[in-house]
Structure 1
Amino acid sequence: MSERESLNRSTATAVRVAVSMIKRRTRETFADNELSAPELSALSQIDRTGPTAIAELARSTRITPQSMGATVAALERLHLVSRDPDPADKRRSLLTVTDAGRDVVHSGRDSVTEKMATALANSFTDDEVATLAAAAPLLERLAQLF
């Protein structure tokens, strides 16, 4: 294995471990709202991307349309998403986050952001914060590529 391959592999491992820890902490923060992880993921995805069909949502979150259908049904029962006809194709429906759903997502995101900001302020130097700020877009690009 070349030096470059070895560095790529060790970097990938370190990023995976760090992201896994952040995901766990984020789930703990969101746990108070009593949504399952798939429900919260779907709700967050719809909030980020706007109105979407179940098939597109399933594809983007890499689960089956049947599983996504059950997840969306639970979100509809809780009045967190609504289903409306697609103006471009009346045969399908588009899911939209309701005001109540938006409140759930944003309050959780705000809580996570606040906890992270506090940790950064209390435990990181200005240079370390700058390094993390520079790395964030790279991590996002990495997530989109694999």
Structure 2
Amino acid sequence: MDARDALNQSTATAIRVAVGMIKRRTREVVDGQLTTPEWSTLAQIARSGPCTVAGLAREQQITPQAMGSTVASLEKHGLVTRSADPDDRRRSLLTVSDTGAAALRSGRDALSDRMAAALGESFTDAEVATLAAAAPLLERLAQHF
């Protein structure tokens, strides 16, 4: 392993550990009535627009049956709605309800507020600038693996 490979490996490990810690803290903030898979599914529907249970299952790499259970819970909470697919009446399309959109905004706002407070209290302006510059790079990294 050459020096660049060693640096890539240690950087990947450090990022994995940090992201894991952030994920755990995130769960503390957004957890309430919904499980992490439910939050993830609700956010995925919001990002992708109307979609099917099978499409969501493929996207999240789980079985359609498991996704069906998650979606049923979201429907029970009134966070998603189901309607007939105009192109294929045998399929249903899922969309985020107004209540679901409000829950997502509330959860995201709570996360952003908590993170912004931590940045303001514990980080220098230069460190915040470094994190701001790293954010798009982390997003690009997530898209490439």
TM-score by length of 1: 0.94
The CA deviation at 1:137 is 1.1
- Aligned counterparts of 1:94 and 1:131: Cα–Cα separation in 2: 41
Matched residue type, 1:135: A
SS in 2 for 1:82: strand
Partner Cα separation in structure 2 for residue 9 and residue 44 of structure 1:
31
Give the SS at the match of 2:129: helix
CA distance in 1 between partners of 2:98 and 2:24 (Å): 27
Counterpart AA for 1:125:
T
Q: How does 1:61-100 map to 2 (within 5 A)?
A: 61-100=60-99
Give the Cα–Cα distance (whole angstroms) in 2 for the partners of residues 52 and 137 of structure 1.
27
**Alignment match, 2:100:** 101
Q: Separation in 1 of the partners of 2:87 and 2:26?
A: 36
What is the identity percentage for the equivalent residue pairs of Structure 1 and Structure 2? 63
- 1:25-81 deviation per Cα after TM superposition (whole angstroms, max 9, x unaligned): 0000011x3111111110111122221111111111121111001100111111110
For the aligned residues, what is the CA RMSD?
1.1
What is the identity, as a one-letter code, of the residue corresponding to 1:83?
R
Equivalent-residue separation in structure 1 for 2:86 and 2:38 (angstroms): 25
Aligned-partner residue type, residue 2 of structure 2: S
Query: Could you state the TM-score of these two structures normalised by the residue count of structure 2?
Result: 0.95
Q: Secondary structure at the match of 2:72?
A: helix
Q: Provide Cα deviations, 1:85-143, integer angstroms capped at 9, x if missing partner.
A: 12233232111011111111111110000000111111111111111111111111111
Q: Distance in 1 between matches of 2:55 and 2:140?
A: 21
Cross-structure match for 1:30: 30
- In structure 1, the residue matched to 2:12 is 12
The C-alpha deviation readout for 1:3-27, integer Å capped at 9, x for no partner, is 1110010000000000000000000
Q: Is there any run of 5+ residues in structure 1 with no aligned partner, and where? A: none
Q: Which residue of 2 aligns with 1:131?
A: 130
Structure 2 gaps, min length 5: none
Number of aligned residue pairs: give it: 145
Partner amino acid, structure 2, of 1:64: T
Letter in 1 for 2:113: E
* 1-structure distance, mates of 2:139, 2:86: 32
